[in-house]
A and B are shown apart, each in its own frame.
Chain A
Amino acid sequence: MVATRHVEELVQRVTGGGDDSDIAFDGLRITRDESDDEFTFTLAIDGGRVDRTGLDADGLRAVLAGEAGEAGAVVEPYVTNWHYWQETVGGEGTARRAFLRWCEDAPLADDDATSVPARYADVRDGIDREWGQLCITARFVDGDEPDGERAYDLWHVDDADADLDALEIHDEPRAARELATYDEDGRYRPLKTAPTLETGWAFTGLSGTELVDAVGFFYPATIANWHREREGELDVDHWSETAARQSGIYEVVSELPREAVDWLAEACCVDSQCLRRREWEYEAGDDLDPDGGDGPFPCREPCSLVIAAARKWAIAESETERTYELELTPSERNQLEELIDAVADDRTDEIREADVNDGANRYRARYLRAKRFADGELEMREQ
C-alpha cells in the first residue's frame, strides 16, 4: 500500500495550481487536462503502463493510492520514488542530488528512459558503487515494504566482504574526518585522495545528506568537481596557470623546467599515488607525458602538495649538472637502483629483516654505507 502521506503530498502538488504543478518525473506523468473548466487530470506511467485521463482529484487520489483496481502495484513505486527524489532530496541541479542519483544508477536527466520498478528491485537488494576506495550501498530504509526512503551504507572497498560485526560502526559523518587523517600504519595522510585509506570501519543507515557530508570529509570537493565535469563545466587550471599565480616562497615554482613537470606528474599524479584523475596539463595544447589515471573524480589543478614539492624541485633544478666519478661493482650499481625503487614504491616496510637478497634490505644498505661512505658521504670525484 502506498504511504498515504506520499499520495496526499503528490495530489496537493498537482492540484495546487500554478505553472509548475504538472509532474513529469522518472516515468510518472500527471498533467492537468487542457480546456477543461473543472479540474481533471491525466495520469500516465512509463508511457502507457497506466494511462488514465479525466480524473478528478479524488479519482486521482484513488488511483495513486492503488484503490482503483488495476493500477495499485504499478503506481506505488512511482509515487514513493517521486516523493524521495522530489520532496526528501530535492536540490534540482545540485551536485548532491546528481551524486545520490549516481549512487543508485538512476538517470540524471528526467527524460532519460528509465524503469522505476527495475531500479526498485536493485535498490531492494542494495546497489553498490565505488568512489575511490569507498564502497557505497544505496538501499531502502525498509527493504521489506519500501516507502521510497533510501539509506546509504559506506565502507572501504577492501571491507566489502567483511562481516559488519568485525567493523567499527559509525553513524555521524564527522567521524570520517578522523578516519581520513591517518593511514593503516598511523601515518598522517596530508593528501586525502591518496590510495591509503585505512580499513575496518563502516557507516550505516546514512541519509543522503549525511552520505554526501561523509564523502566530503573523506574526499573533499570530489563530488562538486565530478558534477561540474559531467555538466561540462569543469574549470581546469593547467600547470602554467597555477604556477604563475603563486607568490611568496612558491613563486619559484614557475621556473620548473618543462620536462620536469612531466617527471613531477609521473612522481605524484598517477593512480598509485592519488585517486584523482589528472585533467590538467602543462598548458592548453601541451599535454604532459604521463597518463592522467583512471579515477572517478577529476583533478582540476595541481594541489598544494604538488606545489610544495615543485618548489623543492624548482630550486634543485636550478643547479647545473656535473659529472662525478665513483667506484661501484655491478652489484652495487644494481643495489642503488633497488634502493631507489624500494623507497619510491613505498616498499621498505615489507623487506624482511634477513632477506639479504633484496638490495634495499637494511643490512645490505648498511654494508654499502660502511664500504663506500667516508665522513658520512658517498666517496666520489667531481670531474
Chain B
Amino acid sequence: MQALVIAAHGSHLNPDASNPTYAHADTVRETGAFDEVREAFWKEEPHFREVIRTLESEEVFVVPLFISEGYFTERIIPRELRLDEFEPEQWESDGTSASQVTFEAEDVGKTIHYCGPVGTHDAMTDVIVQRAESVTSDPSVGKGVGLAVVGHGTERNENSAKAVEYHADRIRERRRFDEVEALFMDEEPEVDDVTDFFATEDIVVVPLFVADGYHTQEDIPEDVGLTEDYRLGWTVPAEVDGHRIWYAGAVGTEGLMADVILERAADAGAELGDAIERVRQITSSATESDPERTSQAGD
C-alpha cells in the first residue's frame, strides 16, 4: 500500500486557507493512485506531527504544498514528522532542485519519501502558464502579452526569490509571451511598479502563492493599483497606467496543481499508473477564475 500526504500550512484564522489543499487532495483521490490520501497541516488538523500514524500504508510520500525551499520544508516539516536524520544537505539542492529523500521510520514500520516542495518542480511552470490561460480565458494567450510571476520574496531566504525567477526564466525560454518578469512584494524588482517593466499593453499577473490570503487578495491588488481598496474588488482586466492587468488569485488554487503533487510523488518512486495523465485531462480545461475577494487574512 502507498499513501500520499499533502503537507500544507493551514490557518487558525482563515477557513479558506486549506481549500486548495483539500481540492488537490480530492483530485488525487479521484485517480485512485494512492490507497490513502491525507491532508496535513502546521496550523490545522491533522497536524504534521500526527498524520503518519493515521496511515496503514507502508510507503508514504510526503509532498509539501509550499512554494520554495526554506524554513518550512527544511526545518518544520521534517522535525514535526520526526524525520530526525534529515539534513537539508541531503536534498543536494541549489535552492530549487530538491527532489526527495527516503527514510525508514522503524518505530512505525514505514518508508517515508520526503519530497521537495511543489513550488520548485518543473511542472509548476505549466501551472503558471495555465493560470495565465484561465485568467484571460484564452488557451493560446501569449502573443502581444506580458507575464509577471509574482513572489513574496524575503531577504531572510534567498530561495524564496529563486523559485519565482526559476519559473520566469523557463517561461521566457519558451518565447510564448512577449515579455516575462519575476517581481516581488518584499524585494526588488517590486510588483508595485509592474507597469514600468512591460511594454505590452496586456499584462497577466500570476502570484506564486499556495493559497489565497491577504497577500494575494489585499496587498497585491492594492500595490498593483487594481483597486483603491481591496474590499471594493477589481475588474479583470483592470486598467492601470495605460495597461490592462489580468489578475486573479493565487496560482496554488489552479486545478493543475494536483499534477505537480503527483509529479513530486512519481519522482520519489510512487507507482501512479496513468494517474498523471488523467489529472492533466481533468484539470487542463481553462476555467474562469473568480476575481472576487474570497478570503480574509491568514495568520
Contacts and interface: CB of A to CB of B under 8 A. Distances in A.
Nearest to B22: A177
A250 to B, nearest CB: 10
Contact of B47 (A182, A247, A303): A303
B42 A304 contact: yes
Contacts, number: 61
B53 A225 contact: yes
B248 to A, nearest CB: 23
A91 interface: yes
A224 B51 CA distance: 9
A221 B79 contact: no
A94 B56 contact: yes
A96 B54 CA distance: 9
Contact of B50 (A177, A190, A220, A308): A220
A221 B53 contact: yes
A223 B54 CA distance: 8
B45 interface: yes
Given A190-B43, A192-B44, A303-B45, 15 more contacts: A94-B56, A95-B54, A96-B56, A182-B15, A188-B13, A188-B14, A190-B12, A220-B46, A220-B54, A221-B46, A221-B47, A221-B53, A247-B76, A248-B76, A303-B47
Most interface-central of B12, B14, B71 (chain A CB within 10 A)? B12
B90 to A, nearest CB: 19
B186 interface: no
19 contacts: A91-B56, A95-B53, A181-B15, A182-B15, A188-B14, A188-B15, A220-B47, A220-B50, A220-B54, A221-B45, A221-B50, A221-B51, A224-B53, A225-B50, A245-B79, A247-B75, A248-B76, A303-B45, A308-B43
A129 interface: no
A1 B228 CA distance: 75
Contacts of B229: none
Nearest to B79: A245
A225 B44 CA distance: 17
Q: In the complex, which range does the number of interface residues on chain A fall in? A: 20 to 34
Interface string B20-64: 001000100000000000000011111101110110100000000
Nearest to B107: A235
Contacts of A192: 44-45
Contacts of B76: 247-248
A179 to B, nearest CB: 12
A245 B84 CA distance: 12
Interface of B: 11-15, 22, 26, 42-47, 49-51, 53-54, 56, 71, 75-76, 79, 299
B47 A216 contact: no
Nearest to B299: A308
A190 B44 contact: yes
A124 interface: no
Nearest to B26: A174
Contacts of A101: none
A210 interface: no
Contact of A248 (B26, B46, B54, B71): B71
Contacts of A221: 45-47, 50-51, 53-54
Interface in A302-346: 303-305, 308
Contacts of B51: 221
Nearest to A216: B54
B10 to A, nearest CB: 9
A301 interface: yes
Closest 3 CB pairs of A and B: A220-B46, A221-B50, A220-B45
A238 interface: no
B233 to A, nearest CB: 22
Contacts of A174: 26
A175 to B, nearest CB: 12
A268 to B, nearest CB: 13
Contacts of A248: 71, 76
Contacts of A301: 49
Nearest to A181: B15
A190 to B, nearest CB: 4
A228 interface: yes
Contact of A304 (B13, B43, B53): B43
A277 to B, nearest CB: 15
B47 A304 contact: yes
Contacts of A182: 15
Interface string A183-214: 00000101111000000000000000000000
A119 B97 CA distance: 57
B26 to A, nearest CB: 7
B13 A190 contact: yes
A178 to B, nearest CB: 9
A188 B19 CA distance: 13
A177 B18 CA distance: 11
Contacts of A304: 12, 42-44, 47
Interface in A50-101: 91, 94-96
A224 B50 contact: yes
A372 to B, nearest CB: 32
B172 to A, nearest CB: 34
A228 B15 contact: no
Contacts of A300: 50
Contacts of B50: 220-221, 224-225, 300
A225 B50 CA distance: 9
Contacts of A193: 45
Contacts of A95: 53-54
Contacts of A190: 11-13, 43-44
A11 to B, nearest CB: 28
A94 to B, nearest CB: 6
A305 B49 contact: no
Interface in A140-162: none
A369 B80 CA distance: 46
Nearest to B49: A301
B62 to A, nearest CB: 16
Contacts of A188: 13-15
A248 B43 CA distance: 15
A303 B42 CA distance: 10
A350 B299 CA distance: 29
Nearest to B44: A190
